[in-house]
Amino acid sequence: MAIDSSNLFEENPDMQFHLQEMVDWNTVVPLREQDFKDYKIYQETGDETFAYAFGTVEEGMEMYATILSGLGELASKEFLKNARLIEEEGFKLKDGQVIFPAAMKKNVQVLTENGYMGLLLPRKYGGMQIPNTANMMATELVSTGDIGLGTLPATQDLGDIIYKFGSEEQHKKYLPKIASGEMGAAMLLTEPNYGSDLQNAQTKGDVADDGSAKVTGTKMWITHGAPHSEGGQIFLTVARTVKKPDGSFKSGGGGLSLLLTHSKDADIVSLEHKLGIHSSPTVQLSLDNSPGELVGVEGRGLIEYTMALMNAARLTVAAQSVGASQIALRESQKYANERVQFGVLIKEIPAVAKMLEEMEISTEASRALVYKTAQVVDIYEGLEEKFMHQGMSKKEAQKTEEYVKYSKLAKVLTPFSKLYAAEEANRNAYRGVQVFGGVGYSEEFDIARIYRDARILSIYEGTSQLQVVAALGGVLEGYSKDNSTFLEYQKSLRGHLPLEDSMKSYLSRVIKGEQIIKEMVAEFKNKSTDFKGKFALNVVWSAILVFISHLFLQMAVKNPDMKKRKAQIFINEMLAYVKSTSELLSMQGELDKPDKTE
Ligand SMILES: Cc1cc2nc3c(=O)[nH]c(=O)nc-3n(C[C@H](O)[C@H](O)[C@H](O)COP(=O)(O)OP(=O)(O)OC[C@H]3O[C@@H](n4cnc5c(N)ncnc54)[C@H](O)[C@@H]3O)c2cc1C
């Protein structure tokens, strides 16, 4: 395949391999298009809103490839170069307004002009209506160009939460503006004293019978809290609104609602000075009796809407992390191909070649995991819509066997993706600096910025520790029964694979890894709360590696030349990790002190 290095999509054979061969578009596209409903409307009515709707899976794939190729070109020609200029000029806070650097304005302009601000939103509201899977590829590409800029399409995706939970009036009022880029979006969750512990958030809202509200509180660390467009930012704001009979506010997650507020009604208290992602303005905001609107039902703000929002955003950060790994790999490969030491290119030195190989394999592992997760999300979201079109209520749709299966899988795979891809992006950035040696530690090359930028990925949208908490229940439940949804799904990934003889022993190693985790989980469940909290990461990480091993087996079958050796290396590393983790837990388990019983 000829590689076009002026296009980050065209030069990435692995992304194209997934797009062309691995993603199950035959399932995803008809669900996303609801049997090509928009196309049929266009054929019948000629309504221009649906002019770009397509009528077959193949046409859909072509359209996604066109969108991604366009983004790949922008990422290569604009975002890569602008990242440095944005850092040099910086965002500035002046008279309560955030002034954008010229190169950032350019990024916003090209994304807007090319229609990339509403990729996920329905055509009906001016969006491109691409599935999550293609959207994750898009986020990855933007982030490959500039990790910090990856936050921009991610915040625009918040429109999808308004679409899912807002009223039709709110859809009409906000979605076309978000899709056109006239309006930006941000999520206001974190407060100075409540980050991971979101359920105790203290921002208050008074909601009137008509759903209008007054909101007061301080929110911090708000990405794109400063407007990048004329229409300002719409803020998805978590606030405590539910009251007890005595008039006091109800505590905990059940007291929180989701309210829409607007940047024009909020004061920017400060602009954060960060270690990295300088293409993303982060501010502290204060709302003081600011006007707002209720989304959905009071009290469901955190429990339902923000959980949906965070799950979507977690997957987006996972895709951003794949972009970070990819750019660290790309820059390192380039440098290792030019730098000579001891009379040879450093890429020829086995220790350096090993670092590059580790980067390549973990980048591809992250990508495979993120795209698989996105497909699972596409399937359960599409099924819900399909069942509702067939006349079921939302509640009924969510009780169907198929929906339950895929939403359950998404609950485990989403934190798997965020945890693995973000941690690996950090490792890859670290390895990247190491490949560069001394110049890696200077700002002469982009790898120093990549290293700083990547650091946020395991912190925001729930730290890695919180991803472990989110995944653990699913892993323990999944590995406790042979016929659990998770293990059945995992088995289906390896079932009937036409493996080459040389890969059969690797399948056995994968099954061995699964077996060891089953035994590990059986022991782990009886340990103290303290022990579980300390070693949950090891158990979850083992489960992630076994899951990804299944994806590598599949990829090795589809394209042995490209993937067989990588699959073998990954599976060997997986089994070594799982075995040593099992041994570690059993030795450390001897030191465990059981919980005191009452
Ligand atoms: C650049 C940047 C951009 C951000 N953008 C946004 C945004 O747009 N909107 C928004 O609302 N927020 C945003 N955030 C906030 C971000 O989501 C939080 O920083 C993050 O969730 C962690 O919360 P915290 O900083 O309060 O850390 P803390 O919650 O204080 O955590 C401190 C440490 O304790 C650990 N910890 C805490 N609780 C547990 C637990 N139960 N189990 C195990 N470990 C635990 C954490 O993993 C961490 O290591 C942003 C943050 C940054 C830095």
Q: What is the CATH number of the domain that holds 179?
A: 2.40.110.20
Q: Do 148 and 279 contact (CB within 8 A), yes or no?
A: yes
Ligand 1 atom index nearest CA of 224: 8
Separation of CA 74 and ligand 1 centre (Å): 31
State how far the Cα of 144 lies from the Cα of 5, in Å rounded to an integer.
13
Strand pairing class (344-345; 282-295): unpaired
Q: Do 280 and 148 contact (CB within 8 A), yes or no?
A: yes
State how far the Cα of 346 lies from the Cα of 339, in Å rounded to an integer.
6
Separation of CA 313 and ligand 1 centre (Å): 14
User: What average pLDDT does this structure show over 331-357?
Assistant: 98
For residue 97, count other CB atoms closer than 10 A to its CB: 11
| Single-letter amino acid, residue 26 | N
Q: Is 213 helix (H, G, I), strand (E, B) or coil?
A: strand
Ligand 1 atom index nearest CA of 277: 1
Is residue 1 very low, low, confident or very high in pLDDT (cuts 50, 70, 90)?
Answer: very low
* pLDDT value of residue 307: 87
Is 520 domain-assigned?
Answer: yes
Residue having the nearest C-alpha atom to atom 23 of ligand 1: 195
Mean of the per-residue pLDDT values of the chain: 96
Domain boundary among 302, 322, 351: 302
Separation of CA 282 and ligand 1 centre (Å): 14
Which two tokens mark 475?
């892993």
State how far the Cα of 154 lies from the Cα of 166, in Å rounded to an integer.
19
Question: pLDDT tens for residues 363-419?
Answer: 999 999 999 999 999 999 999 999 999 999 999 999 999 999 999 999 999 999 999
- The per-residue b/e assignment along 163-182, b for 16 or more CB within 10 angstroms, e otherwise, is bbbbeeebbebbbbbbbbbe
Domain boundary among 270, 302, 334: 302
Ligand 1 atom index nearest CA of 196: 29
Closest CA to 458 of 339, 325, 357: 325
Q: Is 255 helix (H, G, I), strand (E, B) or coil?
A: helix
State how far the Cα of 204 lies from the Cα of 202, in Å rounded to an integer.
6
Mutate to test the pocket of ligand 1, among 459, 472, 529, 530 (most ligand atoms within 8 A of CB): 459
* pLDDT value of residue 5: 65
Is 310 domain-assigned?
Answer: no
Is residue 595 very low, low, confident or very high in pLDDT (cuts 50, 70, 90)?
Answer: confident
Question: pLDDT tens for residues 42-62?
Answer: 999 999 999 999 999 999 999
- Ligand 1: lining residues by beta carbon, under 6 Å: 186-190, 195-196, 221-223, 274, 282, 456, 459-463, 465-466, 469
Separation of CA 195 and ligand 1 centre (Å): 5
Question: pLDDT tens for residues 442-494?
Answer: 999 999 999 999 999 999 999 999 999 999 999 999 999 989 999 999 999 99
Is 424 domain-assigned?
Answer: no
Alpha helices, H only, 24-167: 25-33, 37-45, 57-74, 80-89, 102-113, 132-145, 151-156, 159-165
Residue having the nearest C-alpha atom to atom 50 of ligand 1: 221
Is 556 domain-assigned?
Answer: yes
| Single-letter amino acid, residue 537 | L
178 contacts: CB under 8 Å, gap ≥ 6: 117, 118, 121, 156, 158, 159, 162, 184, 185, 234
Mutate to test the pocket of ligand 1, among 187, 423, 456, 463 (most ligand atoms within 8 A of CB): 463
* pLDDT value of residue 2: 46
Separation of CA 418 and ligand 1 centre (Å): 14
For residue 450, count other CB atoms closer than 10 A to its CB: 27
Ligand 1 atom index nearest CA of 190: 11
For residue 13, pLDDT over 70 is answered with yes
DSSP-assigned letter for residue 596: P
Is 162 domain-assigned?
Answer: no
| Single-letter amino acid, residue 132 | N
Q: Is 295 helix (H, G, I), strand (E, B) or coil?
A: strand
Taken in order 327, 18, 307, 231, the sign of the CA dihedral is positive
| Single-letter amino acid, residue 519 | E
For residue 192, count other CB atoms closer than 10 A to its CB: 12
Closest CA to 279 of 109, 131, 83: 83
Q: Is 528 helix (H, G, I), strand (E, B) or coil?
A: coil
Q: Is 278 helix (H, G, I), strand (E, B) or coil?
A: coil
Ligand 1 atom index nearest CA of 186: 8
272 contacts: CB under 8 Å, gap ≥ 6: 221, 282, 283, 284
Which two tokens mark 306?
């923000």
Give CA 278 to chain center in angstroms.
19
Separation of CA 463 and ligand 1 centre (Å): 6
* pLDDT value of residue 567: 98
State how far the Cα of 314 lies from the Cα of 524, in Å rounded to an integer.
27
Separation of CA 306 and ligand 1 centre (Å): 15
For residue 4, pLDDT over 80 is answered with no
Separation of CA 280 and ligand 1 centre (Å): 17
Closest CA to 148 of 181, 97, 100: 100
- The per-residue b/e assignment along 397-425, b for 16 or more CB within 10 angstroms, e otherwise, is bbeeeebebbbbbbbbbbbbbbbbbbbbb
Separation of CA 459 and ligand 1 centre (Å): 6
Q: How far is the CA of 37 from the CAs of 40, 45, 47, 130, 160, in angstroms? A: 5, 12, 13, 14, 19
293 contacts: CB under 8 Å, gap ≥ 6: 170, 211, 212, 213, 259, 260
Is 103 domain-assigned?
Answer: no
Model confidence, pTM: 0.97
User: What average pLDDT does this structure show over 141-146?
Assistant: 98
Domain hosting residue 242, numbered range: 168-302
- The per-residue b/e assignment along 282-297, b for 16 or more CB within 10 angstroms, e otherwise, is bbbbbbeebebbbbbe
Q: Do 136 and 319 contact (CB within 8 A), yes or no?
A: yes
Is 582 domain-assigned?
Answer: yes
User: What average pLDDT does this structure show over 59-74?
Assistant: 97
Residue having the nearest C-alpha atom to atom 37 of ligand 1: 196
* pLDDT value of residue 297: 95
User: What average pLDDT does this structure show over 154-175?
Assistant: 96
Separation of CA 583 and ligand 1 centre (Å): 32
Domain boundary among 241, 276, 302: 302
The number of distinct structural domains making up the chain is: 2
- Helix or strand (DSSP H, E) at 372: helix 350-389
Which two tokens mark 570?
């990954």
Closest CA to 68 of 37, 76, 334, 27: 76
Question: pLDDT tens for residues 292-319?
Answer: 999 999 999 988 998 898 899 999 999 9
Ligand 1 atom index nearest CA of 188: 11
Question: pLDDT tens for residues 528-568?
Answer: 999 999 999 999 999 999 999 999 999 999 999 999 999 99
State how far the Cα of 479 lies from the Cα of 518, in Å rounded to an integer.
5
